Structure 1
């Protein structure tokens, strides 16, 4: 656990291409949607294969993934853009690994301990040991940063997993003093999936910690045993009210979690398509390359979480954008291509990029994140994740309209702003959007989340690439617009 993973020697040089890059004979029109769709499928079939082992940071799956992408990008005409001669192409990101070791939880009401199915509650910590004794339990619903420290300090904050912004909510709760955060999963399959994914441990950027905080997940039957079935239903209803305020649950909790420490060196892949004017700033495209490795049940014959939709599909789009943009006329601005690590553990690769960027962040005129894109059929609208958060909206909608596409599902798309790498860039004032046909289809996204998200069956056979192929063409138009000093002075 303590050994630092490193890419094989000589990989960064890329002096000899191994020939593993997928190639195909292009049709008469390389911009035809059918051709793009086939090229996307070629990439995904490799990146989401069992051979790539679920693309977990610090594994052989990482080495294979980054080698495949770097060779494909170099073959397309991109050049290294780390601006670090010691680490061309691959920017190191050092992570602390915390693997769960043991945990225990006791709940009491007025001195009487309560029984609950203990296997249905899992506790984790980023510290070596975290212990909380007789802490009051507070239901915080969807609230986080708006709560004052006196309301949270020393308390166990309880929320529901149905809150789409819960990752950012957890950070805010901890920052304001919560001693523990417990998340209730109303869907049993989602609880089991989360428990399996987290059983292998979690990552944090080295040197970063929120202290000895307990982070827990709870299945619905455990919540009902502790709080009462009717009370849980009432809490769900109360959390949806616009005037919701935190509600004490008349419980005290003693929680302990231990973890085994380790370190992992992982990498962001950073390349660029040089523009004609290096002083004009840059456009940036990014997609996270990581997934969970093995996360299926131990009794299952298929334990590899392949991550075909999340996010081999985004990597495929990024790679095809590199190939097609490199074949066109040289643009004014540099176009950066970034494949980030450890997105699944808190946008860690994107956050590392903003802390040690290879170019001034203020020089990035527009950035576009690509994630979970292989769901929608052709002919549909797009959604903009991050709408109204940058000054790009008017120009972006103009490009979308010129491409014959429409923008829909603004409210649904807004739920995902904090859950994707673009959020890390937005927090550093980089104007970043995610434009996607998939997020314009809540029905398909919700079905995917319920049936395949972060599971072993997120595989190549279940993909719909019609919308993704059209999104490639749209992103080409967006990049050319923002990389031009004429259309975007």
Structure 2
């Protein structure tokens, strides 16, 4: 279906899902609002199950995983989807084997001018991707927020001390290690953020089992710990200097001897893969995905609430994925197959999405368009949408036209750009799959900033705080996107 520019959302609602009447007036009529209310209610019902305490925070390899995947598979099958693993031994659930490294012990010794500096053990925590990592008497260098721009000569054999409080922190840490740093210490200025990260990482970190990460050493240090190491005045001076244009790494007077040990383990988890068969499967496929995992029990025992339910992140995305499956299952078959992918271990480095690209059920070059659904339960009704991944695929013009036809404005593209590498779509983009995240949740800084500050990766990310107005409208947009790219008439096959 193609709707003309300027036609009200009411027409889209009725044509797409057949919910109620389409009486005309400018703006949303009462019937239109009721239809959106019904969509919100259906999304909410799925989230209430997936983000319940019974599902234990959906940690990979846990009982919560089993309940999550069984619930999704049952609903998807009832909607008319078929298993798409192409593996009779593992219908619906594609195995993904992970290595788990759980911190065991650490040793920290900082020296300046031959004198040992005491840093409370609670203020610095070390981690290693292997069983043991050791750095002895290494010089330290303060790099601020610099990472990829630094070369090996500036980092080799040194402990890089970085600032954690910015959006590209994970990429910065990885770049520092890849460019030769012997280890990385990240200064976290917010005490609560420091405690939260330490609590999450003490439960271990995953990687794909077939990958050998060596014994990489990294750690986090509180602001008080950094002040103990450097002195408060020098620390503040360094933090101020890092904000200045042209800042370059600053060698420190301190040297560090650091050791971290971990206990290795193996976790067997799964991606969930299904499809709605199309009439012309040889014409390619459309892919929709959302990660099902969260952190399990990651709250502090002292607070009483230990379960990180992940209502927004990402029970909300799963609910939209499931509702789209149910709505498409009721309608006529599209030309192309539509694949539905629930990924594991997104929170630990997009691992499920990466595993999917390494062993896909179909050739990846047959996917004409993919759309990731993540953390959609933030924006209010009437919000614009952002295209996360804009400029990286040939899909932009078609997506923008469809959004405009449905009365959806475009949000802050520069703000949305910073999330490209922080979601599963990035793993697919690296495998040359044209993937976007089209979402009202990433169109404006304010709602996302409030969510990140108060609930992101915390036990407070629960059902009673979710906002589904924008998600309901986004679901309608994705139905139209899937129908557009699923049709060989509106999106013809690319001819060699």
TM-score, with structure 2 as normaliser: 0.90
SS of aligned partner of 1:488 = coil
Matches of 2:287 and 2:245, distance apart in 1: 37
2:303 matches 1:295:
no
Structure 1 residues 407, 299: CA separation in 2 closer, same or farther (over 3 Å shift)? same
Matches of 1:372 and 1:161, distance apart in 2: 23
Which of the pair has more CA radius of gyration? 2
Moved more, 454-463 or 205-214: 205-214
Matches of 1:293 and 1:207, distance apart in 2: 24
The alpha-carbon deviation at position 186 of structure 1 amounts to: 1.7
SS of aligned partner of 2:283 = coil
In structure 1, the partner of 2:14 is none
CA RMSD of aligned residues (A): 1.7
In structure 2, the partner of 1:312 is 315
The alpha-carbon deviation at position 289 of structure 1 amounts to: 0.4
The alpha-carbon deviation at position 426 of structure 1 amounts to: 1.0
Q: Is the contact made by 1:310 and 1:372 (CA closer than 8 Å) also made in structure 2? A: yes
The alpha-carbon deviation at position 27 of structure 1 amounts to: 6.0
2:161 matches 1:158:
yes
Structure 1 residues 231, 433: CA separation in 2 closer, same or farther (over 3 Å shift)? farther
SS of aligned partner of 1:56 = coil
Q: Is the contact made by 1:367 and 1:430 (CA closer than 8 Å) also made in structure 2? A: yes
Structure 1 residues 350, 234: CA separation in 2 closer, same or farther (over 3 Å shift)? farther
Name segments (4+ residues, structure 1) moved above 4 Å. Answer: none
SS of aligned partner of 1:396 = helix
Could you tell me which of 267, 272, 275 is aligned with 1:269? 272
In structure 2, the partner of 1:208 is 211
Matches of 1:483 and 1:233, distance apart in 2: 55
Q: Is the contact made by 1:158 and 1:181 (CA closer than 8 Å) also made in structure 2? A: yes
Moved more, 305-314 or 30-39: 30-39
- CA deviations on 1:77-107 (whole Å, 9 max, x unpaired) are 1111111111111000000111111112121
Could you tell me which of 95, 98, 109 is aligned with 1:95? 98
Could you tell me which of 46, 56, 61 is aligned with 2:59? 56
Could you tell me which of 176, 194, 197 is aligned with 2:197? 194
TM-score, with structure 1 as normaliser: 0.92
Q: Which 5+ residue runs of structure 2 have no aligned equivalent?
A: 1-17, 22-30
Matches of 2:187 and 2:388, distance apart in 1: 26
SS of aligned partner of 1:218 = strand
Could you tell me which of 340, 343, 346 is aligned with 2:343? 340
In structure 1, the partner of 2:250 is 247
In structure 2, the partner of 1:391 is 394
The alpha-carbon deviation at position 159 of structure 1 amounts to: 1.8
- CA deviations on 1:326-365 (whole Å, 9 max, x unpaired) are 2222111111110000011111101111111111111111
Could you tell me which of 31, 47, 50 is aligned with 1:47? 50
SS of aligned partner of 1:140 = strand
Q: Is the contact made by 1:439 and 1:445 (CA closer than 8 Å) also made in structure 2? A: yes
The alpha-carbon deviation at position 281 of structure 1 amounts to: 1.0
In structure 1, the partner of 2:15 is none
Could you tell me which of 180, 183, 187 is aligned with 2:186? 183
In structure 2, the partner of 1:118 is 121
Q: Is the contact made by 1:132 and 1:179 (CA closer than 8 Å) also made in structure 2? A: yes
In structure 1, the partner of 2:447 is 444
Could you tell me which of 329, 332, 337 is aligned with 1:329? 332
- CA deviations on 1:158-217 (whole Å, 9 max, x unpaired) are 222222122223222222222212222122111111111111111111031321111211
Matches of 1:284 and 1:159, distance apart in 2: 38
Q: Which 5+ residue runs of structure 1 have no aligned equivalent?
A: 1-25
The alpha-carbon deviation at position 250 of structure 1 amounts to: 2.5
- CA deviations on 1:388-433 (whole Å, 9 max, x unpaired) are 1222111111111111011111111111111111111111111111
The alpha-carbon deviation at position 242 of structure 1 amounts to: 4.9
How many residues matched? 464
The alpha-carbon deviation at position 241 of structure 1 amounts to: 4.4
In structure 2, the partner of 1:167 is 170
Could you tell me which of 84, 97, 109 is aligned with 1:106? 109
